[in-house]
Amino acid sequence: MYKISPTVQGEKVHFKAPDPVFYEAIGEEGMRKLMYDFYDIIYESDIAHFFPQDREEFDEVKVRNSKFFIQLCGGPKVYEEETRGVELNQYMVRLHDDFSIYEKSRLEWLGAMREALKKVDIAQHLKDDFWNYIESFSKLTVNTTVDGSKYYQDL
Ligand code: HEM
């Protein structure tokens, strides 16, 4: 089952990109489908307000997000130009600084991913490996405490 451990402010987050075998199994099209399904769920979720309300802008986020995951998981480097020379993980954490992300937002985000993963027809242990990456990396996107004060996470 997909476990979730709580984010602890100031605690070092250890994460590992998904095994390349995950990408080999899901493929580029499968990856895009997973991310589009994920964003369809996000659009209806409690964290929809974080994302552009304009459908076209929302679709652009979807496209860039898919490119990121394709690259991260070992596919072609289709996201590279977005990072403008900044290391990929560093870039991704800093990109989220612009939003006030609570632990609750992370749980909602992970819940949407859990739903979307149900439709992916590959071996469960590969989905688990992908889950381990998002479960841990998502802790680095949390940057707001329950009282609303903001902090910045270091990798
Ligand atoms: C494993 C964790 C996560 C990863 C890998 C991730 C990845 C991404 C990527 C690739 C993008 C698109 C970047 C681009 O525009 O070039 C993005 C955008 C975004 N993500 Fe995340 N994300 C994660 C967790 C979260 C969580 C927990 C939230 C909570 C709300 C969140 C909120 C957002 C928002 C608001 C945007 C930008 C939308 C906009 O451009 O207006 N993300 N994320």
Residue 56 lies in a domain: yes
Ligand 1 atom closest to the CA of 61, numbered from 1:
15
Residue 147 lies in a domain: no
Q: Per-residue b/e over 111-123, b at no fewer than 16 CB within 10 Å?
A: bbbbebbeebebe
pLDDT band at 42 (very low <50, low <70, confident <90, very high): very high
**pLDDT tens for residues 98-131?**
999 999 999 999 999 999 999 999 999 999 999 9
pLDDT the model gives residue 20 = 97
Residue 95 Cα to ligand 1 midpoint, Å, equals 8
Residue 15 lies in a domain: no
Residue 125 lies in a domain: yes
Distance CA 100, CA 151 (A): 9
Q: How many separate domains does the chain show? A: 1
Domain span at residue 38 reads 20-141
Residue 126 Cα to ligand 1 midpoint, Å, equals 22
Residue 109 lies in a domain: yes
pLDDT the model gives residue 47 = 98
Pocket of ligand 1 (CB under 6 A): 47, 50-52, 61, 64-65, 68, 82, 92, 95-96, 99, 101, 105-106, 109, 134, 137-138, 141
The pTM for the full model equals 0.96
User: Residue 40, exposed/middle/buried by CB under 10 A (0-12, 13-18, 19+)?
Assistant: middle
Residue 58 lies in a domain: yes
Which residue is associated with the tokens 């929809």? 48
CATH number of the domain within which 65 lies:
1.10.490.10
Residue 75 Cα to ligand 1 midpoint, Å, equals 19
Distance CA 139, CA 14 (A): 10
pLDDT band at 21 (very low <50, low <70, confident <90, very high): very high
- The dihedral through the CA atoms of 87, 62, 134, 142 has a sign that is positive
pLDDT the model gives residue 1 = 80
